[in-house]
Amino acid sequence: MTGRDMSGGDGGQTWRDRLLILAAIFLAWALATNAVDILDPFLFPAPQKVARLLWEDASVFGKSIVSSVYLLASGLFLAVATAIPLGLVVGWQRRLHRAIEPVTNLLGPIPPIVYIPYAIALLPTFTASSVFVIFIGAFWPLFINTVAGVQSVERGLVDSARTLGVSRWDLLTRVLFPGAMPHILSGGSISLVMAFILLTAAEMIGATSGLGWYVKYFSDFADYSRVVAGIVVIGAVVLLLMTVYRRLTDHLLRWHRIRH
């Protein structure tokens, strides 16, 4: 059996299993809220009520998604533009890495959510403070994984490139960067999830739009049906983003799968 046949068969079975699990969750939700009187309908709305709200508030959700994605993309872009080049240089220069390692160990583990109140007080607008916090949250996983990726590149490849007279720029961009790509993309996955968590948290504190704002706004009015609707939309957006990222990762690492 070829690899293509194997992946196609596994993929089809996986999708059937996922649909069965989703159907079981939906059925349990419908039974618990409609057929069996065991849940408070004020706190646990029936699925048909949530579906109706998703339709009624479609335009609000559309604007909220655009607002959230704008903040998310801005913070992630800054993280990618700084963490990957810095990680390549720090991972390549071992002396520089040894000098910076204590700073990385000090700042990296700090939960980025603690920066939110300070960023809101320090920066002039909520947009700037949100982008800053998302940037901090996305930066460290990407930077640390890029450094680890560069250091995992086989030393023989680097020595061979130097022997052939490859320039420093080509060594970084054509040897170390592709070699570190699996680690970089792994760090990117963590950064994406972290960025979305911080985005939602920031929006729940001081935003006037966005998905986090939607959930916080209606929770203040005890409208838990809309809160559940907002959570469903947030889950769908995260699922879509992670699916797109996995497809992008599979495409960029197709050479890595062939090699292994």
What is the percentage of the chain residues whose pLDDT exceeds 90?
A: 50
| Cβ neighbours of residue 225 closer than 8 Å, sequence gap 6 or more | 45, 49, 50, 53
Residue 38 within any structural domain of the chain: no
Q: How many domains does the chain have?
A: 1
* pLDDT score at 7: 46
Residue 52 within any structural domain of the chain: yes
Number of helices (H), then strands (E), belonging to the chain: the values are 12, 0
CATH code for position 110: 1.10.3720.10
* pLDDT score at 160: 84
- The rounded distance, in Å, linking the Cα atoms of 52 and 65 is 19
> Is the confidence at residue 233, as pLDDT, over 70?
yes
Helix axes 224-252, 58-92, angle to 10 degrees: 40
Residue 103 within any structural domain of the chain: yes
Give the structural domain span for 149. Answer: 45-253
* pLDDT score at 172: 87
> Is the confidence at residue 8, as pLDDT, over 60?
no
Residue 149 within any structural domain of the chain: yes
* pLDDT score at 4: 47
Q: Which residue in this structure is represented by tokens 């709200």?
A: 53
Residue 172 within any structural domain of the chain: yes
Q: 91-132: per-residue pLDDT in tens?
A: 988 899 999 999 988 888 888 888 888 887 888 888 898 899
Mean pLDDT of the chain: 87
- The rounded distance, in Å, linking the Cα atoms of 250 and 260 is 14
Identity of the amino acid at 110: I
In the structure, what pLDDT confidence band is assigned to residue 225 with cuts at 50, 70 and 90?
Answer: very high
- The rounded distance, in Å, linking the Cα atoms of 206 and 99 is 38
Identity of the amino acid at 1: M
Q: 238-250: per-residue pLDDT in tens?
A: 999 999 999 999 8
Q: Which residue in this structure is represented by tokens 């204590």?
A: 102
- The rounded distance, in Å, linking the Cα atoms of 233 and 54 is 8
DSSP 100-139: HHHHHHHHTTS-GGGHHHHHHHHSSSHHHHHHHHHHHHHH
> Is the confidence at residue 227, as pLDDT, over 90?
yes
SS3 category, 8: helix
pTM of the model: 0.83
> Is the confidence at residue 219, as pLDDT, over 80?
yes
In the structure, what pLDDT confidence band is assigned to residue 257 with cuts at 50, 70 and 90?
Answer: low
Q: HSE-up of 240 (CA within 13 Å, CB side)? A: 8
Residue 3 within any structural domain of the chain: no
Q: 136-189: per-residue pLDDT in tens?
A: 999 999 999 999 999 998 888 888 888 888 888 888 888 899 999 999 999 999
Burial 132-148 (b: 16+ CB within 10 A, else e): bbbbbbbbbbbbbbbbb
* pLDDT score at 9: 52
Residue 233 within any structural domain of the chain: yes
Residue 78 within any structural domain of the chain: yes
3-state helix, strand, coil in the chain (%, to 5): 85, 0, 15
Q: 51-60: per-residue pLDDT in tens?
A: 999 999 999 9
